[in-house]
Structure 1
Amino acid sequence: MMAAATMTSTALAALLLCAAAFLAAHATDGHHQTPEGDDLVAKVCANVTSRDLMCKPQVTREFCDSALRSDKRSAAAKHPRDLALVAIDLFQRGAADADAKVDGAIRSGSGRRNWMAFALRYCRVDYADVAGTVPVCRAIIQEYKDGDESDDQLPSRRQLDCADRMSGMAFDCAARMHDGDGDGELSKEVNEAFGRSCLVSAMVEKMLGVGGDDDQ
């Protein structure tokens, strides 16, 4: 009986070892991807940053991960360029939502005070510029291929300039709303649009392999 008990214990231990080996072998397959495996969003957002001092507080790991995963296309991304395109579409929608809120505030008479009227009307100018710029910049980003260089031999200056231009427009409105002491809901919408513009900048930098503090 002791021999049988010993064999049973040995068989159980072997079974547990086999089960552990099976789980380990399948933990990183297509059904159980880990952040260190094929999850590009997790990889990119793990050490996300920005060259732009205005954007640095906006671009956090949590915001990056949450924003990108809100669009299902990010799960199929194979290259940071794919995530840059997702980010620019998120920004375009965010800017359109903020512009609609600003327009509504103007129509409702929220801009009766001079400083608020100034802030709201100039925000509409900023968002009109965004609407005209995004399609052009999206095309430039979409055309990017690894190793591309601009005419002045800097790493794809065209893409960086586009990202900087868009974040600058979004920042201008956010700054005006702050100075104008806009209401909470409107300011939240405007700040969300600015945050998304910063995400575009961060993803373009990842696409180009430009570090947050690199002089490139």
Structure 2
Amino acid sequence: IRMYIASIHPSLQYTPFSFYLSPLISHISQHFSTSRFLAIPVVIATMPRTTIIFSTILFMLLAVVITAQSSSSASGKPKATKLMVEACKNALINYPYGDPFSQEFCLSTLQSDNQSAEAKDLRALVLVAIDILKSHVTAAGGKIKKMLQDAKKGTVMMPVLSFCEVDYDHVVRRLNVCQGLIRDYQGDKSGRQPLRLTHCVEMSFTPLNKCSIGLEDMPGVEVLSKENVELQFMVQVNTGLLASYDVHD
């Protein structure tokens, strides 16, 4: 370690080890009870140099782990549970129209809501996924309303945004209906044709796509266009999750 320190600057090789340990101990003490580290200076003073070096390495590793955990907590995203991973994997397999979205996008979508980590079964996870989609559509619809207020009358943008506003409102209403149907669905226990849950959410794709076509090549709506594409991917994720739910039930 002294050789490494000396390689940075020769004068540093004569600096006491405590100089390097002090900031590290200070960092660790912020995460743990101070009483656990009161004896550290005394212990270090009585340790052989080899033990001190080994202890220093351990402290450094511990600091790295603590920093990583702090960064993970700061991100605010829940860890992907086994249920989430399996659900996304099956959503890709059971999606009826090929493989348009990635498993990473599916997981990232679910991780955007902490309720996903609390879901106990696939139906609960599906309901959270629809909530996520609905909240994003609602937020995008709010932006459209704001753009309509700022848009000048008689411009090409006015009718396009107006149609998109209607389309987004339609999607939110449909998703509310779909959630109610999913909550009431108990599987095919009567021998009748199973409820087409997948089709209910899947139909949200069409109005979003219509809006997307209207936004093509229109200046000043690039952010809205990008969000629209992401919403279409989210509809596909929800469709795949529901297709898996139909398969299992």
- Report the TM-score when normalising by structure 2: 0.59
Aligned partner (choices 152, 174, 186) of residue 145 of structure 1? 186
Q: Is the 8 A contact 1:92 1:131 kept in 2?
A: yes
Structure 1 residue 150 displacement after superposition: 8.3
Is 1:93 the counterpart of 2:93? The answer is no
Structure 2 equivalent of residue 123 of structure 1: 164
Q: Is the 8 A contact 2:91 2:237 kept in 1?
A: no
Structure 1 equivalent of residue 173 of structure 2: 132
- Report the TM-score when normalising by structure 1: 0.67
Aligned partner (choices 189, 201, 206) of residue 168 of structure 1? 206
1:162/1:74 CA distance change after superposition, 3 Å:
same
| Percent of paired sites with the same residue | 28
Structure 2 equivalent of residue 156 of structure 1: 195
Q: Is the 8 A contact 2:90 2:244 kept in 1?
A: no
Output the CA distance in 2 between the equivalents of 1:88 and 1:194. Answer: 13
Aligned partner (choices 29, 43, 48) of residue 86 of structure 2? 43
Task: In structure 1, list runs of 5 or more residues that go unmatched.
Answer: 1-33, 211-216
Output the CA distance in 2 between the equivalents of 1:99 and 1:89. Answer: 15
1:99/1:147 CA distance change after superposition, 3 Å:
same
1:67/1:74 CA distance change after superposition, 3 Å:
same
Task: In structure 2, list runs of 5 or more residues that go unmatched.
Answer: 1-78
Q: How many residues align?
A: 168
Deviations 1:54-78 (A, max 9, x none): xx42x21011001101211211223
Q: Higher Cα Rg: structure 1 or 2?
A: 2
Output the CA distance in 1 between the equivalents of 2:189 and 2:218. Answer: 42
Output the CA distance in 2 between the equivalents of 1:94 and 1:128. Answer: 12
Root mean square deviation of aligned Cα: 2.7
Structure with the bigger percentage of helix:
2
| Higher RCO (C-alpha 8 Å, min separation 6) | 1
1:111/1:68 CA distance change after superposition, 3 Å:
farther
